[in-house]
Amino acid sequence: MVQELLKKEKKLAILGLGYVGLPIALEFAKKIKVIGFDINEARLDKMRNSIDPSGELDTEAFNGCDIEFTSSIDKLREASFFIVTVPTPIDEHNLPDLKPLLGATRFIGKVLKKGDFVVYESTVYPGCTEEDCLPILEDESGLKVNADFKLGYSPERINPGDKEHTITRILKVVSGSDKEALDTIASVYEIIVKAGVFRASSIKVAEAAKIIENTQRDVNIALMNELSIIFNKMGINTYDVLQAAGTKWNFIRMQPGLVGGHCIGVDPYYLTYKAQELGYHAQVINSGRYVNDSMGFYVAKQTVKKIIAAGKDVSKARALVMGATFKENVDDIRNSKVADVVKELQSYGVQTDVVDPRADSNELQHEYGFGLLEKPGTGYDAVIVAVNHSEYQQLDEAYFRSLLQPDGLVVDIKGMYKGKIQSINYWSL
């Protein structure tokens, strides 16, 4: 398989060209023939013109790539090695939404041939690849795993906004349905991954490894957020405490903050769902999710309390929220907890403006019901710096004073201006 791909006698197909799929597709396309499949024609048109719809990759990333962007299922028949990188979100009840994953699986099943390989990268609960996806592949194709085609799982480790830990530089975990599948899948990824591969003992182990990477971070951040709530009641600054505690050699350095996005804020729910299905209620993980999911509302309530403490009428108060994406230096708004801050402020009657140098106003309006101002106004009672975009790092006290009422408040969620703001009312987690 590997030699046939390198000689361009066979093709590799990537299904799902989002922030995970497109970088992988382009890296492979520098070495082999690639079919980039997506159901969104508007996104495909941008990629055909060397534009990354996610805003992560420069135009140069498309140079020298042997790739065809398509939404045609028939085109997929030309592929022999399939990689699935579609989203795996949660629904409004925090339950796994497998529709994109199972839909992509049906597409592959309709074109699957003897000798083909199917590898999943989408984050799922342990068992999903073999218990949910495999039956569809076999039913749609009439083929049997291992006897006719091979199956594998290789968790994605793409970190949006991170230009250092890219696909080629991160050790790639791979797994397969048998030894031949494992060896071949590992060899295919070694075409592009300079950091090498790690062969997991089974597909379930690889699935579990991925999901606990983000669950571990979620639980640790939840602890920091809970400590922040406690320390706020004590009148001490959380970042001062963490700085002091961090002098111990084995202290785990984490910070409080809003936990959104499509990894840390979503993946733990896949694990708790599977645990519940097996009759176990995951208490620590669920508690961490509860804390982190409530932090946007907590920040807004603390802001409102401080506005009231300043003797102001909340119903006439104005606030500015700076940053709307789920994390710094990206334009991705999916599962952004900044929306919770805005929603809660508005519920108290606070007129709330939002600015962000990277987010798309129309997307925010469609997803959360509010858009962006081109530039901030003045006379705000509170300014909340919700996302630490690089564009905000050099702002100084004079800048915030120009935005605020004389007795206004700066809420610095992640402590970016700690020690820099001296004469303005200031609060951080």
Return d(Cα 318, Cα 331) in angstroms, integer: 25
Start-to-end CA distance of the chain, whole Å, equals 53
Stretch (H or E) spanning 222: helix 203-234
Residues 6+ apart with CB under 8 A from 135: none
DSSP 316: G
Return d(Cα 177, Cα 85) in angstroms, integer: 19
Return d(Cα 365, Cα 372) in angstroms, integer: 8
Structure tokens given for 254: 């984490």
According to DSSP H, which parts of 294-414 are helical?
A: 295-309, 338-347, 361-368, 397-403
User: Strand (E) positions, 48-145?
Assistant: 67-70, 79-84, 117-120
Ramachandran region of residue 184, left (φ > 0), alpha (ψ -120 to 50) or beta? alpha
Closest among 307, 298, 377, 312 to 341, alpha carbons compared: 298
The dihedral formed by the CA atoms of 84, 87, 93 and 95, expressed in degrees to the nearest 10: 20
Half-sphere exposure (Cβ direction) of 134: Cα atoms closer than 13 Å: 18
**What residues act catalytically?**
263
Stretch (H or E) spanning 425: strand 425-427
Ramachandran region of residue 405, left (φ > 0), alpha (ψ -120 to 50) or beta? beta
DSSP 90: B
DSSP 374: S
